[in-house]
Structure formats: structure tokens, C-alpha cells
Chain A
Amino acid sequence: MPLNILRFLQLLITVHLLLVGTDTLWAQSFPEPLSPRTASYDMDIFLDVENKQVQAKQTLTFINPSADTIHNMRFHMYYNAWKNNKTDFFIETGRIPRTKPQDEIEDCIWSWIEVTKVVDEQGNNLTAQLQYVQPDDDNVNDHTVLDLQLTEPVLPYATYRLEMDWQSQIPPLMIRTGFSKDYFFMVQWYPKLGVYEPAGSRFAVEGQWNCHQYHPSTEYFGEFGVYDVQLNVPTDHVVGASGFLVEQQEAGDRTTYRYLAEDVIDFAWTAHPGFEVVKDKWRDVDITLLVRPEHRCNEDRFLQAAKHTLDYLADYLEPYPYPTLTIVSPPFYGLNSGAMEYPTLVTVPTLCNLPKGIKTTETLVIHELIHQYFMQMVASNEQEEPWLDEGFTSYFEAKILDKYYPEGTVAWPFMDVRIGSQELRRGRFFNAPNIKVNPISDYGWHFKHGSYAQIVYGKAAVGLRTLEGIVGEDCMQKIMYTYFQRWKFKHPCSRDFEEVAIEVAGKEGGAELGLVVGDFLQQMIYGTTECDYSIHDIINKPVTAPVGFFENTEDCENDTRIEGEQQYEAKVIVFRNGEFATPQEVQITFDDGEQITEPWDGKARSQEWVYLGNRKIVSAEIDPDFKIAMDRNVLNNSLTQEPEQTGIFRYFVSVVGWLQSIMANMSLLA
């Protein structure tokens, strides 16, 4: 029923648009829904740029995805995070920059969002049944979750419609959303329905609303739907939004833009008179870059990085299905809105005065576009399991950057500086203040003592890279492909990924590999241990003739000569220093040039390999192909009998030169 109604509405609008002769993009509408379209919104928005306010009317169409009878609804009211300084956002903010300047406090500049009227399909006015609740704590000053008790419950699998009037005071741009001067970036800006999780879905043991308060370190979780949004803004403002433009009507000094975004979990938009519009295309996808004139120097870098990402993911997972992609490059004074992902719209700050060797623009474009797959299509819960989107995204980000930008994400000709994305991500993880402080499976706001980004992004990405090393690149692609296909337009959890990985690894490499993968993922996702293996020693012990007493104490063997070539008992000893155990390969090189690779399950605390013969071991190396990126110290992964000093001499020469240069400069002052 609800789908039929939606299609009928679409048909009506299409006919209307054809009659009035406006530019219509309805042809781009999906013939069949990609997602369940559980929560759809029809909105009329008026942006008051003078008072920095939004007045809105909103119709919400909710389809009960369960056999439960639902008696209430929960909404995210994110703008209330900046309503006072005792919200969870401010209490947990910690070191996030620009929390609240003194002048804003003195001028009482706070933001809020309030529902002024809500009416159900039967005409019942439910406004009095609205109440702020705090599902995560008992902080009554936090009004970021609104509960609505329904007069008429939502019956199993039924469609339910609500009419809402609401208004909001837009926050000064602090983090992700708000205004700065004439730039508006509107995300998490409307009463957004939580996700209803039926029993058995993710971690739900019974039907429940998953609607957490706004915690500053975490992002979002949303339900799939269709957004039909009319934005009334000043005509001189250039607008960009999720989805595609259906209609644009100018009336005096204001223009109404109508956007349609289908099968998305959220809707974001921006308005700013300073934007210039750059158009491009990837296959059938219209790419729009909204960019200030001073940032057009990087125009090609934005577009090239976007196309590389879309190419890569099209081959690896499946082609980007949406008809549009909008990249917003904010002005410098809107920098705090930058580097975020929303359905079909991403925001990527850029600076033209950064050296070309620093690939920040490309990194951010690639990272945010990957999120179109992991968090938008595979809509995991960014609040409860942020690693499922940030970790996956960081894993793919490194692969794409290293493929298309082999010169490195940071490159400088002096000293031949080249830092690849993969090694940079690994380094950033291990540079965390404490890599053991929380497991990656933890809720985002449980990372109270730092290291959130290093663990959620870094450990997850490094862990996935290690998983790729264990199962091989082809198998890893099959794991990712299967996971994506099975869970796109749904809400998976960590367990779902584990099941896919074990299943695919088992199919590809046998049951034993499946067990290895299961064991690895348990440690990686739920554990906090660290991985470190080392070559402890290489011993080449000459084999001696048997001398002394053997069968009795009368006949003494004392001839130490050995016939033929000198024989050796050549031995390598390896340690597992960390608690984290992974399968390993140990490559042993002999003085005749031969190399042997020994597989090892990596579980014992120490292991040795002994070879009898006329040759000595000259070096040994654990993980020679650097498959186990989680190993925190690669310097102890190898050992040579003869130290190789040329590399160190290189650094020594450089240090001498730098010091002399400083001394020569100092002579100007003496």
C-alpha cells in the first residue's frame, strides 16, 4: 500500500512537471526501490538567513518493519545539542575545538529545534504527548531525543503518517553543521526518526527504538527512505543537496528548490552565495562540485579523486547507484563543516596553499565517497559500532590512494619523503596514546579517555588489511563483496560481518581458514591486545664429533675430527611478544642463497626451526611480505648475522649535514 501511494504521488508530480515544462529529472528516479523505505519525509523548508532560523512543515511516512505494535516514536533533535552547556554534547566535548566562544555566551547565542505541532493521520493532535527523554543517561538537560506517545499505535507492517510543524535556531558553525557568515551547512537539522529494530535485528532482543542522544565523538544512524524536500532560500544563494533537483521556482528575491533523494538514510543541504558550480560526469552520475573561486585551483584534484573512487568501488563492490553526487568544498570560514559524509553529498575542505605533494584533498574526497557504501548503503550504526563505517572506509581509502597515488599521500623531494596511505594509517594507529584503551567494538561515546580515531579508524583499517594478508587479496574481495551484497540497504552489526568473513574464507580456503578468520576477528574486534612477533636469535652451531664416555666409563672417545665438510645445526628462534596471535610465515635465508619459508600458526610463545647441514643461516624474517600490518614493531621482525650499516650511515650523514647547516646559520648571530 504505501509503495503504491508513493508511486502514485511520483506519477502525479511527473505529469505536473511535464505540463509546467520545468526541467525534470524524474527519469533518474529508481524504477524499483533499492531499500525498504521505512521512513520517508516530505518537507517544506523556509530558510530565514537574517535570523538564522528554519521554519518547516514535515510529513513523515513510517512503515512498521516488524510484527510489533508500536506505541511511541523517537526522534533525534540534534540542534538541541547546543541548547545549553549542560547537554551531553558539551559535557563530553573534551578537546573538540571551538566549543563556545565567550561572546556567544554573553549574547545568548544558542541553538535549538522544537516541534510546535504534531498531528497523526486520524487528526489527533499529539503535541502534548511530546517529551524529551534521555535513553543513554539521566542528563535531563539533554534534549536531543524526543519521544512521542501515539494515540493510535502503529500496527504490524502498517504505514503511519504524521504531520509536523517545527522550527529551529541554526547554530554558529561549530562542528559539522550550522552557519558561518553567509554560509549555511544543514545536516542533522530536522526531527529525524530513530531506527526501529525488531527483535533479532542487530543486538535487539525485543522490538526497540534505536535513538541515542547526540554525543560529540559519534556520528549517526538513520532509516532508509525517500526525502522530498522543498527548500525556500534567498535567490542569490547557491544550493546543493542530497538527491537530485526536481524543480526550481523563483519568486522575487527567493527561490524554491525541490530535491528528491531516494533510498537514503539522511538528507543534507547547503546554501551559500559564494559557491561556483562545476559540473562533471562519471558514467551516468552527475557530479557537482560546489566550490569557492579561490579553491578552484584544486578543481581537477577533487574530480579526479572522485572518479578514481567510483571506478574502484564499481569494480570491487558494485557501481554507485545514485544519479547524483555533490561535493561541497566549504569556505575557509566554514571549515568546521568539513570532511563529512552524507547521502550523495560530501563535504571536503581544501586549501590551495598546501604543497601539491600533500594529498589531503584527494584523501578526503576518497574517504567521504567510500562512506556512500559504508554507512549510506550498508547502513551500520555509526554511534554503536563506528568501526563498521570508519574502519571499512579507512581500509578502502588506503587501497585506493595507494593504487592511484603511488607517489604517496605525503611526498616531498628532500630526503625522498614518500608516505603511503596504508603505512600512514598504521603509524597513526600505533601513535595512539593507548591502543588498548577500548576495543573497536565499543560504542563511540565509551571512548572517554581518547584514542577514538586511532582505534576506530586506524586499528579497524589495519586489522582489515591484516585480514587481507591472512586470507589473500582475492578472498578478501569476495568477503567484502558478499558482505556488501548481503547487507546493502540494511543495518548490519559486527557479528554479521564476522559471519560473512568466516563463511567466505571457509568456502575459499577450507574450514581451517574459516576458523583462523573467526579467531582473528574475535581478537581484532572484541579484544584489546597487541600483536608483536620478533626473531629472537639465529644460531649456527658447528656439529662436533661425539667425544667423552658413552657406553661405559672406560672407553673414552676423544677424536674431535669430523670426516667431510663442516656440518652445522642452524637454528632460528622466534618469539610471540604480544597477546594477539596470528598465523605467520618465517623466511629463512642460508649462506648459499637459498630461502625457505616456514608457515607457523603463531600461537606458541616461542618457536624454533632447526636445519642440519653444511650451510649457515644468514638472516631470518617474520612476515616478509608484510601481511600482518597489526604487528606493532616491524624492526624486530628480521635479523641478519652481519649488520647492514649503509642505511644507518645514510641517516648519520644527513644528521651531520643538518647540524652543520644549523651551525653555519648560527654564525650569523655570533
Chain B
Amino acid sequence: MENSSIVEQNTPTIGEALRAGLAMTIRYWKITLVYWLCGLGLALVAALPFRATLLAHTGNTLLLDELIPGFNYTYLNDFLQNYGSALTPLLNQSLLILLVQFLLLVFLAGGLTKTVVDQPTTFSNTLFWGSSGAYFWRMLRLSLFFIVLHSIVLGIFIWLYLKVTKGFSPAALENEGIITSCLRWLVPLYVVFAALPMLWHDYAKLQLVHTDARWIWPPVGQAGKFIRRHFIKIYSLYALVLLVGLALLGLNYTLNSILSIQSLGTILLSLFLTQLFVILRFALKVLNMNSVAAMLSAQK
């Protein structure tokens, strides 16, 4: 396997990798479209019955006008009190749909990775969908491994938080300030550490596709070695993408908070903004894979 693995040469700068990644993201814009449409489709599958349930039980009540600005406690409370049981199957269905979405994302990961590794001149349907199917089970195993790894990191940080806050016990704590003040360093620290399995996962996917390995462990090991050798550059690149992602999340939240919804027009504007940010976030995912591939491709 050593012969088929990536041979390291000079790595590009972060800027070069990002620029190359951006160019490829634009070239393969259909991948972003596929991700967005899959997400939207599944979200609609979950949300349409929800809408139908609200309409069936409360479609003819005058209180509906008061929902337009957003949250209405009395409406929600009375709905849950009187018709809440109707939402239980919908919530279960939504969880199932999220599971389906996860499997779909794993499925698409094969197509995305193969495309960024092979770098065809234009988006190839055959390559994308064919690879999605071909790598599905291996990508699934890889994802499950990294979810376990991520859970361990998360578990360690939860344990640390409970330790620092002494289990939130009023009797044990001198004051409650530590409950939130420690989050100021604990959350950034968590993000710093949580980024590691995520970026390792991305490099392992590329290694897996590049080497067409049957088992996930060799690519995981090769990716790990590669990251260790170029840790600062790789981590900085990933941190930059992560920061852009967090900035997008923050901007989305802020715009939603300040947008005063009073009419159908503003509801549609909110829908448009939401879709725009979802597309941007999926595009960022594609860009991340492309820039990672750009960094690796320069070293073949």
C-alpha cells in the first residue's frame, strides 16, 4: 500500500490551497447543489406533515395571525396541551429522517471525495454517483469510527466540565460564576480538540479513495501520519475553514434575530436567507474537501 499512498513533496501555502479549493468548488458547483437538494428534500418530508397537522387542528383559528411574528407561547402551549400527541409520530419520523440524512451524507461523501481526488475537468455524474455507491460501506465504517473518536473527545470535555463545576452542586461551589466562566476557555478548547478527529476524518477519506483501500485502518493510519508531519499547516487550514463556518452560523442567527417578520414577504425573505446560508455551509464543506485535496495533490 505504501506505493499507492500519497508521496509527500512541497506542500502549498494555506492561501494557495484555499484558492485551488475555491476554484474546484465553483467548477463542481453541482455537488453543492446535490447536497442542498438532498437536505431540502428530506427536510420537506419531515416538515410537510408538521404543517398539515397544524392546519388540521388549528387552521381555522383566529389566533394564527399572532404566529406571524414568531413565537407565541399561548398558541404553542395550548396546541401541545390539546393536540400534542399528534406531534409524537412526527417527531419520531423527523429523527428517522435525520438518520436517513446521515446515511445519505455518508453516501455522497464517496462521490465528493472521488471527484476531488480525480479532479475531472467538469462535474461527472457517472463518477460522482458511481463512487457514492462504490465507497458507501467503507465511508460508513470510517464515519462510525470517527464518531466514536469524537464521542470520546466530547465525553472527556463533559467530564471536565462536570469536574470543574463540581456537578453544579450549590453545596460544593463557592459561587455559580464558574458554571459559565469556565465555558469561556472550555468551549474554545473543545473546538480546538474536536477539530482534530474531523480533519483527520477528511484526510482519511481522501486516502481511502486515493488508495482504494479495502479496510479503513491503513488510510486512517496514513492520514494520521501525514497530519502529524504537516500539523501546523493542515490544522491552520482546517481552523480557518471552521472559523468561516462558525462565522456563517453566527451571521445566520443574527440576521434571523433582527429580521422582524410581519408579513408573507418577510417570511419568504427569511426562507431565502435560510436557504442561502445552508447552501453556503454545504459549499464550505465542498471547499474544505477541495482545499484538502489541493494540499495533497501538490505532493503526489
Contacts and interface: CB of A to CB of B under 8 A. Distances in A.
A663 B83 CA distance: 28
Interface string B163-182: 00000001111111101110
Interface residues of B, number: 82
B187 interface: no
Contact of A648 (B40, B51, B82, B253): B51
Interface string A425-437: 0110011000000
A643 B60 contact: yes
B109 to A, nearest CB: 6
A663 to B, nearest CB: 4
B64 A644 contact: yes
B261 A656 contact: no
A635 B264 contact: no
A655 B175 contact: no
A636 B39 contact: no
Interface string B261-300: 1011001001100110010011001000000000000000
Given A417-B71, A670-B102, A430 B77 contact: yes
Given A414-B253, A637-B61, A647 B143 contact: no
Contact of A670 (B50, B57, B71, B105): B105
A361 B95 CA distance: 37
Contacts of B98: 659, 662-663, 666
Contacts of A662: 98
B188 interface: no
Given A413-B258, A638-B62, A660 B274 contact: yes
A509 B104 CA distance: 68
B17 interface: no
Contact of B285 (A639, A657, A667): A667
B166 to A, nearest CB: 11
Interface centre among A353, A647, A666, A670 (most CB of B within 10 A): A670
B4 interface: no
Q: What's the dominant secondary structure at chain A's contact region?
A: helix
Nearest to B270: A653
A655 B74 contact: no
Given A633-B78, A633-B81, A656-B44, A639 B61 contact: yes
Interface in A612-654: 619, 621, 632-641, 643-654
Contact of A427 (B77, B102, B175): B77
Interface residues of A, number: 65
Contact of B274 (A657, A666, A668): A657
Contacts of B62: 619, 621, 638-640, 644
A416 B256 CA distance: 10
A655 B46 contact: yes
B58 interface: yes
Interface string A184-215: 00000000000000000000000000000000
B170 A335 contact: yes
Given A353-B179, A643-B55, A644-B65, 18 more contacts: A292-B175, A333-B173, A413-B258, A416-B260, A418-B71, A424-B73, A430-B77, A632-B81, A638-B62, A638-B63, A651-B50, A655-B46, A657-B278, A659-B47, A664-B278, A664-B282, A664-B285, A669-B201
Interface of A: 98, 180, 292, 294, 331-336, 351-353, 413-420, 423-424, 426-427, 430-431, 619, 621, 632-641, 643-657, 659-664, 666-670
Interface of B: 35, 39-40, 42-44, 46-48, 50-51, 54-55, 57-71, 73-75, 77-79, 81-83, 94, 97-98, 101-102, 105-106, 108-109, 139, 143, 146-147, 150, 170-177, 179-181, 198, 201, 252-253, 256-258, 260-261, 263-264, 267, 270-271, 274-275, 278, 281-282, 285
14 contacts: A180-B171, A415-B70, A417-B71, A424-B73, A632-B82, A643-B59, A643-B60, A648-B54, A649-B267, A650-B70, A666-B102, A667-B35, A669-B143, A669-B146
